[in-house]
Structure formats: C-alpha cells, structure tokens
Amino acid sequence: MTDNNNIRIKDIAKLAGVSVGTVDRVIHKRGKVSEEVKEKIEKVLSETGYKPNLLARTLGSKKGIKIAVIMPNPEQDEYWALAFTGITQSLEDWSQYNLQIDNHFFDLFDSSSFREAAENALSQTPDGLVCAPIFHKETLEFFSQQNQDNIPYVLCNTFIKELSPISFIGQDLYQSGRLAGELISIGGTDKSHVAILHIQENIENSMHLKAKEQGLRDILEPKYEISSHDIKKMDPALIREQIEQILIDENLGGIFVSTSSALHEVASILENMGRSDIRLIGYDLLEKNLSYLKRGVINFLINQNPKRMTLTGIGHLSNHLLFQKELPENELFPLEIISRENMETYLNSRIH
Amino acid sequence: MTDNNNIRIKDIAKLAGVSVGTVDRVIHKRGKVSEEVKEKIEKVLSETGYKPNLLARTLGSKKGIKIAVIMPNPEQDEYWALAFTGITQSLEDWSQYNLQIDNHFFDLFDSSSFREAAENALSQTPDGLVCAPIFHKETLEFFSQQNQDNIPYVLCNTFIKELSPISFIGQDLYQSGRLAGELISIGGTDKSHVAILHIQENIENSMHLKAKEQGLRDILEPKYEISSHDIKKMDPALIREQIEQILIDENLGGIFVSTSSALHEVASILENMGRSDIRLIGYDLLEKNLSYLKRGVINFLINQNPKRMTLTGIGHLSNHLLFQKELPENELFPLEIISRENMETYLNSRIH
DNA sequence: TTGAAAGCGCTAACAA
DNA sequence: TTGTTAGCGCTTTCAA
C-alpha cells in the first residue's frame, strides 16, 4: 500500500513555528489569530499545497449529518416513487458517514400540505434540506421567510429563479420540448397537426410546462400547426373525454404529453382507437409507459431521471455538509431518449 | 448535528466481555481467537447489527491506495481521450482518500506495446488495476499468467468471458446493434439496403463488433438487406476508396459504423456527395461526430460514455479496496441516444 | 490466545 | 492570542 506521505497539519505547524491549534484556527477562520501569524501560516499552507485529510476531519468532528427531504408522497405518483428510490439508495451510498434522512411528504393536490411538511421538516433542525418545490408560491414563502436559520438547501425538479439554493438539480425544460419536437418529426409525417397536453393536478403551477411547449413550438412551427391543452388531472373519465375530443382532428400527426402523469391514459385511448398513425411522445420510465413503449403506442420517452435527481441532491448536500465541497450551481441532467430498443438497458443500469 | 449513537467496537467488546483487540480479530478473521470467544463475539455482532465506521477504519489503517490504469494512448484516439478525462476526474473525486493513479498507455496499432504497458503497471505493485483489454490474446495471457499476485482488477469497454475481474464495465453490444437498427428504420425508408462498417486498427480483434452486427441484423432482416464490411484503419485515402465503393449502391438507405473511429470520414463523404438520403448511425460524442450530427449528416449517435466508464472503473475499485464494498459483477451502461437536440445537454452535464 | 496502548489526522475544549 | 490535549472509532504492535 502507498504510504501516506502527505503534509499534515502538524507539519504545517512545525514549518510555521506555531501549534496545530493555531493552524486549525486559520484553516477554519475561527478568528483569534494575530494577523502576522495568520499570514505566515497561510503562506506555508499555500506553499506546501496542504490538503486536509477529510476522513480525519469528519471523524474528528464527530458530526453525522441529518438531511430533511420535502417531496410529494411517493405513494401518490409513480414518478415520485422513482424519485424516492434515489433517497433509499443514497442512504446506502453514504452509510459510512452516518447520514440520517427524514422524509416529509406532501399531497400533490393540496398546497397547504406542502407548508405543513416544510415546517415539520424545519422543526427537527436538520443540517440541510432537499426539496421538490412543486408549489411555487408556497415554496417562495417558505424559503424566504421560514428558513431564517439559513439551513442550506438543494432544489430538485423545478427551477425557481427567485431562490438561491446551494444547487439546483433538474433538466433544461425548453430544450426538452425541442427534443420532443424533433422526435415527433423524425422521418417526416404527412399530417401537420401536433397537440400538446399538459395534464396535472393543479393547473396554476404549469409555468415550467410552458417552457417545454415553447421549445416544441420553436422546432415545429410553422411547418406544423400546434395546439395546446391544459387538462386538470382528476377523474380519469373526464380526462378521456377531453382527449377524445382532441383526437377528432383527422390531421393530427403527433401528441406530446408534457408530464409523465396520465401519459398512459392517452396511450390507452390511442391504442383502443387504433390510431397508430399518431406519434406519441412523453416522459419517464413509469411501468405503464414502458409497456406502451414496448408495444409501439408510445414512440419515445424522455427520461427525467427522478432517481438520479434525488440521489444527486442528497449527494451534493452531503458533500457540502461533510466536505465543504464546491457544488455546481445547476446540475442539468442530459435529456435521455428512451426507445423500445434501449429501454431495458436503462432499467438494468444502476441509476435510471 | 446528529450525534453518532452507533454501536462501536468498544461497545461490542464490553457486551462480549472482551477487549477491542479481540473483537477486531474476529471481525477481520485475523485468527488467534478461541472458538468459544469467537462465537460469543459473533453473536453480539449480529445481535447489535454492528456496522463499522469506514472512516475510522480507513484512517486507522493508514493505507492509501495505488491504482494502475492500462489503456490506449489518449493522444492517439479521441475516444480514449474522453476515457482519460474520467481518470482525471476520479482523481478529484477520491482526492480525500489519498488515491494514486499510475497510467500506462499502449499503442492501438501495436499489441506488443500492451504487454509492455501491462508489465510496467505490475512492476510498480499497485493495489488494483483498471484495464481496457483491447488485445484479446495478450490480455488473456497477462491476466492468467502475469497477475499471479492476484491483484484485483476491473475491466472496461470490452467484455472478456474467460476472465473474472471484480467488475466489468461497459455496454450490451448486441442490444446496441439492435438499437442502431431501430434508429435506422424509424419512420421507414424506401431504400432497402443497409451497410455495416467495422473500421478499426486491427481486424483480428473484431469479435465484439460482430455482436453489434448481429443485433442490427436481428432487427432489420429480412426486411432490409444487410452487407457487412471490415475496413482496416490505416491510410484515410484508402478508407475513402472503400467507402465510395460501397456507396455506389443506389438502394443503400442506411449506414451503421460500429466504432466511433473514422465515422467522420464516412460522414464527410456522404456530405460531399450530397447523399442526405442515407441514414447514418455511429458512436460517441467525438468533436467531429458532433459537428456532423449538428448538420444532420449523422442522424443519431449512440453514446458509449467512455468518461463514465473509467470514472466508474476507478470508483468501483476504490470502493473495493478502501471499503470492501460489494460491486456489481457487470455494470452495463444504458445505451444513450444522442440527437441534434439533446447533444448539448449531454455535453453540459458533468459526466458524458 | 488475549489485552493494553499507541497511533491515523483532525477538531474543539480548556488552559495559559 | 496561543498552546496543549483529549477525543473520534478503528488498526496494529507489543507484551503478557
């Protein structure tokens, strides 16, 4: 084995003619050091290229870390169930650092439940927060008012320009829409209409979906005529009705469903009507989506990678808390194209 | 901060009425423990669900690790240059564990240089090896004969069924070929011929390319007529000539180049001849490939993710060496489809 | 076969 | 403002 011939704090102390305590104070800016001594130590520090042993640091400051997660209830939605698997796995990945994760789930249909979950999270004084800010207004309120202790937080899934988390993790939604447009038009179609379906719990929070829409429009217009439809996710029968309405259009060549949710409803209708002439593009490796992808009813899925999202979120936060590592301000995942022929390779890989 | 209320070795010792030294001996099977005591300790161990603090373990046994990498010269080939960026990054990622990496490059055109590189690597008694086994015969010889000290090793890129590395990292080549087939046939073409081009340094080692070929055939035959061409990568002019020969076929609707290498040559010819009727599919985010992808000459790239490959290789090996973590026998990466519209999102992401 | 004790490099409380 | 020292949990050497 390699012997550890690194420069240690002790060496720095000797070189600077001071004690380790003083060096430690300089390194951590704990004050109470004369300017003169401070400068000398800093000089030695940079000359030797001192790098702390993070193992020893973590061990010495007998800290573990406690992270609170605020996200939609995984039982309510398969997308968030996938996201939750990332939480589970990060617990394993970071097990050696005695990491504790407290989950606080909220109801996708109920914005007040978000407040509750968030306040609960805070009340347990976590060292950091990972949050999926589904409800724009409530999130804003929470992070600008409640979080006065300045607990570091990471935001996942939805970008919120008014906030400054230590890191945002998600995807470029505009580009995602462009990609969807490209995927619809590959090889060309003879039909010239394309419909965008925004199907979700609360239509108020659909701003980010409009970014996807714009991307698609910029690719397909004016060659294609685009129509956009906001559909509130409630009664499946009601959704069906609205979709069937849209399908009356004989000239419809493609449908883009902007969220993973309820894509399978659309697929089911298309399949039942035998409309294999319509290209269908949507999001995420949900079970039902995959089965329609396999049967060719859905042509492509774009993977938003919810598992990797939470995994990376916890990872970044842990690195920040434990090792003071610098994080990317934005971690934008690639837009993964899933087709019938590569879906298994995604399912089989450790992170998907 | 959370206090670390874990069970420590000390606690185990107290519960079992022995000393920490003895507990340690049992945990690490360092022998010299009476059967009776051993059983008692093991009982306590499992009852308490003891989990060692890996930080302390690593710190206590003042080991660093030294990993030797055996791979093609990054200056010779852009694919391997990308792979090399993974090495660089893993050095950062693992910097806290005092990881040392020694690179041993070999010449893609010269199998004897592989032997040399491999022996060199071994002579420095590394704790583990990461190897890209381009030369089948030589690799087999090396790992079955030279590596008698049983230094743990990870194999990247090319699967070799006769060997048992602690982990293999790569992709499913057969499935990769199937995907290529699907990508060629999306939307349908009126032309019914497809050509597969295997372009590489040494044709002898093309076994794994045949797996890709088989995948493509299984998707496209008998609807399409497939022709396969082995082209030795030497003089670019010579390559051109052979490719132009193939392009004479008026009925050619698609080309699949099975390696990242020289794909741009094919693209350049297609572009010059104005043959935009021919679908072109190939591998990897090499600079030239990307520019042809952007211009629509190349329709899709499949990403073999060389950077992530080496990054994961070093990561697995480090986890094994440092933390005795269990590794997946095979880590098969997803087959990433790169199009004009998602390429930037891959380039912008931390690992691509 | 066992136990005691001195590290590993760093932190943080306490003294000076 | 500075130095000293006792940990953190584990490994490993030495002595018993």
pLDDT at B190: 78
- Average confidence (pLDDT) over B232-258: 90
Question: Which candidate, B317, B338, B343, places its Cα nearest to that of B328?
Answer: B317
Query: For strand C, which residues in window 23-52 of chain A come within 7 Å by CB?
Result: 24, 27-28, 52
Confidence label for A1 from pLDDT (cuts 50, 70 and 90): very low
Two tokens, residue A350: 């450790």
Q: Is the CB of A31 under 7 A from strand D?
A: yes
- Give residue-wise pLDDT tens across range B31-90: 789 999 999 999 999 888 888 887 888 888 777 788 999 999 999 999 999 999 999 999
Query: What is chain A's length?
Result: 352
Helix (H, G, I), strand (E, B) or coil at A220: helix
- Give residue-wise pLDDT tens across range A133-155: 999 989 999 988 776 667 899 99
In angstroms, the CA of A24 and the C1' of C12 are apart by 10
Confidence label for A7 from pLDDT (cuts 50, 70 and 90): confident
pTM for the whole structure: 0.86
- Average confidence (pLDDT) over B219-229: 93
Chain A nearest-CA distance from B289, in A, is 18
Confidence label for A179 from pLDDT (cuts 50, 70 and 90): very high
Confidence label for A3 from pLDDT (cuts 50, 70 and 90): very low
CA dihedral A70, A75, A81, A87 (to 10 degrees): 40
How far is it, in rounded angstroms, from Cα B179 to Cα B181?
5
Share of chain A above pLDDT 90, in %: 63
How many other C-beta atoms are found inside a 10 Å radius of the C-beta of residue B310?
28
How far is it, in rounded angstroms, from Cα B208 to Cα B113?
21
In angstroms, the CA of B282 and the C1' of D15 are apart by 68
Confidence label for A103 from pLDDT (cuts 50, 70 and 90): very high
* Nearest residue, CB atoms, B182 vs list A3, A340, A348: A340
pLDDT at B352: 61
CA angle A84, A86, A89 (to 5 degrees): 115
Q: Is the CB of B27 under 7 A from strand C?
A: no
DSSP string computed for A319-341? HHHHH-----SEEEPP-EEE-TT
Beta carbons of A339 and B6 less than 8 Å apart: no
Confidence label for B153 from pLDDT (cuts 50, 70 and 90): very high
How many other C-beta atoms are found inside a 10 Å radius of the C-beta of residue A336?
27
DSSP character at residue B204: G
How far is it, in rounded angstroms, from Cα A10 to Cα A53?
12
pLDDT at A250: 87
Question: Which candidate, A256, A182, A178, A185, places its Cα nearest to that of A218?
Answer: A178
How many other C-beta atoms are found inside a 10 Å radius of the C-beta of residue B288?
16
Is the predicted pLDDT of residue A6 greater than 80, yes or no?
no
Q: Report the nearest residue to nucleotide C2, CA vs C1'.
A: B22
CA dihedral A163, A167, A168, A170 (to 10 degrees): 180
Among A345, A351, A352, the strongest candidate for a mutation testing the B interface, having the largest count of B CBs within 10 A, is: A345
Confidence label for A31 from pLDDT (cuts 50, 70 and 90): confident
Q: Give the orientation angle of helix B35-48 with respect to helix B20-27, to 10 degrees.
A: 80
Q: How far apart are the first and last CA of chain B?
A: 36
* Nearest residue, CB atoms, A337 vs list B6, B51, B339: B339
Give, as ranges, the nucleotides of chain D with any atom within 7 Å of a protein CB: 1-5, 7-14
Measured between beta carbons, which residues in chain B are less than 8 angstroms from residue A334?
336, 342, 345-346, 348-349, 352
Q: pLDDT averaged over chain B? A: 89
Q: Is the separation of the CB atoms in B324 and B65 below 8 Å?
A: no
How far is it, in rounded angstroms, from Cα B266 to Cα B289?
10
pLDDT at B147: 66
Out of A62-71, A163-172, A198-207, least confident range: A198-207
Confidence label for B1 from pLDDT (cuts 50, 70 and 90): very low
Q: Is the separation of the CB atoms in A284 and A293 below 8 Å?
A: no
Beta carbons of B65 and A323 less than 8 Å apart: no
Residues 86-145 of A with CB under 8 A from B: 95-98, 100, 127
| B49 touches A: beta carbon within 8 Å | no
Q: pLDDT averaged over chain A? A: 89
- Give residue-wise pLDDT tens across range B263-303: 999 999 999 988 888 999 999 999 999 999 999 999 999 99
Q: Is the CB of B98 under 7 A from strand C?
A: no
Q: Give the orientation angle of helix B263-273 with respect to helix B236-247, to 10 degrees.
A: 50
Q: Is the CB of A56 under 7 A from strand C?
A: yes
- Average confidence (pLDDT) over A324-332: 86
Confidence label for B3 from pLDDT (cuts 50, 70 and 90): very low
| B348 touches A: beta carbon within 8 Å | yes
- Average confidence (pLDDT) over B200-227: 89
- Give residue-wise pLDDT tens across range B168-204: 999 999 999 999 999 999 877 778 899 999 998 877 7
Query: What is chain B's length?
Result: 352
DSSP character at residue A146: I
pLDDT at A352: 61
Using CA coordinates, name the residue in chain A closest to B92. A325
Q: Is the CB of A7 under 7 A from strand D?
A: no
| A4 touches B: beta carbon within 8 Å | yes
| A53 touches B: beta carbon within 8 Å | yes
| B27 touches A: beta carbon within 8 Å | no
Chain A nearest-CA distance from B337, in A, is 6
Share of chain A above pLDDT 70, in %: 96
pLDDT at A2: 37
Alpha-carbon torsion (B308, B313, B319, B322), positive or negative = negative
